[in-house]
C-alpha cells in the first residue's frame, strides 16, 4: 500500500478542507495510506506529519481555513530547504504528494516534481491568479463575501448619500475586484491589469452625483499599490478615498475588507470544486501522474503540466470594466 501526503500552503482559502477530505477518503478507497503535513512546506521541512483516516477529516467539509494549518516558508525556496523536505518525504516513505495552494505553493510542487517527487497540485487561492484554471478553490466564497459587504455598505451609503471606496484582496490580480465590482454595481473598478486615471474617476463620480446619483461605489484592488505612492501603512483604499474626497468635495468613506475575505464557510460551488479536485488528485496519483495541476476548464476537471498551468499571467476580460461603467448608470 503506497503512502500519499497532503499539505496546504500559502494563503488559506475556503474549500481547502473539502479538498483534503475528498483526497483522503478517495485515496483510502483506492488503497493508499494518507498522511497530512501540518503547516505547509514549513511543516514538511520540520517533519510535522500526521496519519489521516476517514474520521480525521470528518466535520470539515463546511469549514473555512485549513485544518492542516498553512504557512509561508522562505527557506523552502532554497536548495537547502528543499533538501530537508525531500529527506522528510523519504523518511516517511511518501510516494506521492498533493499540494493544495496558490501560485507560489504550486511552484514549490513543481520544484519537488523536478527532483523526482511524484506531485499533484490543486489550485486554491482567493486571488484567482493561476493562469491554467478558470477558477481556483476559495474564489467563489471570497467573491460572495465581497458582494455581501457591498450590499451592506449600500444601505448605509444610500442613507447618508456617501461615496464608498472598497478595497479587495488580490496580491497582483484584479479578478476579485473586477467581478465583485460588476456584481455589486460599482461606478468604478481599479485593477492592476488596466491603466486608470484617478482624476477621471473623480470626474465621473462627481458627474453622476450632479446627475442625481447620490451614492456610489469605487472598488479597488490591493494589487494597484505599485501604481500609487503610498505612505507607510497607508492602504490602497485610503489613498484612493483621500484623493476622491479631495477632488470632488464629496463625503467619502473607505472600507478595507482585508482578511475577512479569506474566511467563512465555503460556498456550495467551492465545496463541489474542491471535492472534485480532491478525488481527481487521488486518481491521478493512482495513474502514476506527476508534475500536474488539476484545473477547471469549460466545466470539466482536467489535469495539465504544472509548468504550463503556471506560465504567464492570468488574463482578465477587461471589457467587463467598460460594462461595469455602462451599467452603473
Ligand atoms: P501562495 O501559494 O498562496 O501563492 P506564496 O506565494 O506565499 O503563497 O507561496 C507559499 C509558499 O510556497 C512559500 O512560502 C514557499 O514556501 C513556497 N514557494 C513559493 N514560491 C516558490 C518557488 N518559486 N519555488 C519553491 N517554493 C516556492
Ligand atoms: O494570496 C492570498 C492573499 O490573501 C492575497 O490576496 C493577499 O495579498 C495576501 O494573501 C495576504 O497575505 P497574508 O496572509 O500574509 O496577510
Q: Is the pLDDT of residue 45 over 80?
A: yes
Q: Is the pLDDT of residue 325 over 90?
A: no
Any atom of ligand 2 within 6 Å of the Cβ of 235: no
Asked, for residue 322, whether it belongs to a domain, the answer is: no
Considering the domain architecture, whether residues 129 and 16 belong to the same structural domain is answered as: yes
We report the CATH number of the domain holding residue 205 as: 3.40.50.460
CA of 68 from ligand 1 middle (Å) equals: 17
Arithmetic mean of pLDDT, 1-12: 95
Any atom of ligand 2 within 6 Å of the Cβ of 174: no
Considering the domain architecture, whether residues 10 and 128 belong to the same structural domain is answered as: yes
We report the CATH number of the domain holding residue 298 as: 3.40.50.450
Asked, for residue 324, whether it belongs to a domain, the answer is: no
Any atom of ligand 2 within 6 Å of the Cβ of 103: no
Residues 107, 112: Cα–Cα separation, whole Å: 9
Arithmetic mean of pLDDT, 33-61: 98
Arithmetic mean of pLDDT, 45-62: 98
Considering the domain architecture, whether residues 40 and 74 belong to the same structural domain is answered as: yes
pLDDT tens-digit readout, 255-293: 999 999 999 999 999 999 999 999 999 999 999 999 999
Range of the structural domain that residue 291 is part of: 3-138+266-309
pLDDT tens-digit readout, 89-141: 999 999 999 999 999 999 999 999 999 999 999 999 999 999 999 999 999 99
CA-proximal residue: ligand 2, atom 13 (nearest)? 11
pLDDT of residue 329: 76
Work out which ligand 2 atom sits closest to the CA atom of 127. 6
Is the CB of residue 169 less than 8 Å from the CB of residue 142? Answer: yes
Considering the domain architecture, whether residues 177 and 246 belong to the same structural domain is answered as: yes
Arithmetic mean of pLDDT, 40-60: 98
Identify the weakest region by mean pLDDT among 54-58, 149-153, 288-292, 321-325: 321-325
pLDDT of residue 1: 61
Any atom of ligand 1 within 6 Å of the Cβ of 8: no
pLDDT of residue 328: 85
CA of 81 from ligand 2 middle (Å) equals: 22
Mean pLDDT of the chain: 97
Asked, for residue 114, whether it belongs to a domain, the answer is: yes
The 3-state secondary structure of 193-231 reads CCCCCHHHHHHHHHHHHHCCCCCEEEEEEHHHHHHCCCC
CA of 258 from ligand 2 middle (Å) equals: 9
Helix (H, G, I), strand (E, B) or coil at 3: strand
Considering the domain architecture, whether residues 152 and 120 belong to the same structural domain is answered as: no
Asked, for residue 192, whether it belongs to a domain, the answer is: yes
Considering the domain architecture, whether residues 274 and 256 belong to the same structural domain is answered as: no
Work out which ligand 1 atom sits closest to the CA atom of 41. 16
pLDDT tens-digit readout, 229-249: 999 999 999 999 999 999 999
Cell of 173: 490580480
Considering the domain architecture, whether residues 242 and 281 belong to the same structural domain is answered as: no
pLDDT tens-digit readout, 149-206: 999 999 999 999 999 999 999 999 999 999 999 999 999 999 999 999 999 999 999 9
Considering the domain architecture, whether residues 293 and 235 belong to the same structural domain is answered as: no
Sign of the dihedral through C-alpha 153, 234, 176, 73: negative
Considering the domain architecture, whether residues 134 and 200 belong to the same structural domain is answered as: no
pLDDT of residue 109: 98
Number of domains within the chain = 2
Amino acid at each position: 500500500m503506497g503512502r500519499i501526503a497532503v499539505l496546504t500552503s500559502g494563503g488559506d482559502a475556503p474549500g481547502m478542507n473539502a479538498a483534503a477530505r475528498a483526497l483522503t477518503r478517495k485515496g483510502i478507497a483506492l488503497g493508499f495510506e494518507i498522511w497530512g503535513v501540518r503547516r505547509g512546506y514549513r511543516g514538511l521541512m520540520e517533519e510535522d506529519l500526521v496519519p489521516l483516516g476517514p474520521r480525521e477529516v470528518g466535520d470539515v467539509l463546511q469549514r473555512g481555513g485549513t485544518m492542516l494549518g498553512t504557512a509561508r516558508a522562505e527557506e523552502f525556496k532554497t536548495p537547502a530547504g528543499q533538501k530537508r523536505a525531500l529527506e522528510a518525504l523519504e523518511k516517511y516513505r511518501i510516494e506521492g504528494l498533493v499540494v493544495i495552494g496558490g501560485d507560489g505553493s504550486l511552484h514549490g510542487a513543481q520544484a519537488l516534481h523536478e527532483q523526482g517527487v511524484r506531485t499533484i497540485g490543486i489550485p486554491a487561492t482567493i486571488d484567482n491568479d493561476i493562469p491554467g484554471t478558470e477558477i481556483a478553490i476559495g474564489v467563489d466564497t471570497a467573491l460572495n463575501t465581497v458582494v455581501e459587504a457591498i450590499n451592506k455598505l449600500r444601505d448605509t451609503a444610500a442613507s447618508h448619500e456617501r461615496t464608498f471606496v472598497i478595497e479587495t484582496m488580490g496580491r497582483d490580480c484584479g479578478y476579485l475586484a473586477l467581478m465583485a465590482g460588476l456584481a455589486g454595481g460599482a461606478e468604478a473598478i481599479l485593477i492592476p491589469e488596466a491603466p486608470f486615471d484617478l482624476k477621471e474617476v473623480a470626474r465621473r463620480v462627481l458627474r453622476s452625483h450632479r446627475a442625481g446619483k447620490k451614492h456610489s461605489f469605487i472598488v479597488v484592488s490591493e494589487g494597484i499599490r505599485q501604481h500609487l505612492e503610498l505612505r507607510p501603512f497607508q492602504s490602497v483604499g485610503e489613498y484612493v478615498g483621500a484623493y476622491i474626497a479631495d477632488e470632488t468635495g464629496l463625503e467619502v468613506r473607505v472600507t478595507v475588507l482585508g482578511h475577512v475575505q479569506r474566511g467563512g464557510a465555503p460556498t456550495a460551488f467551492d465545496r463541489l470544486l474542491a471535492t472534485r479536485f480532491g478525488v481527481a488528485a487521488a486518481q491521478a496519483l493512482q495513474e502514476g501522474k506527476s508534475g500536474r495541476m488539476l484545473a477547471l476548464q469549460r466545466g470539466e476537471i482536467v489535469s495539465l503540466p504544472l509548468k504550463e498551468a503556471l506560465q504567464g499571467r492570468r488574463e482578465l476580460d477587461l471589457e467587463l470594466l467598460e460594462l461595469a461603467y455602462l451599467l452603473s448608470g
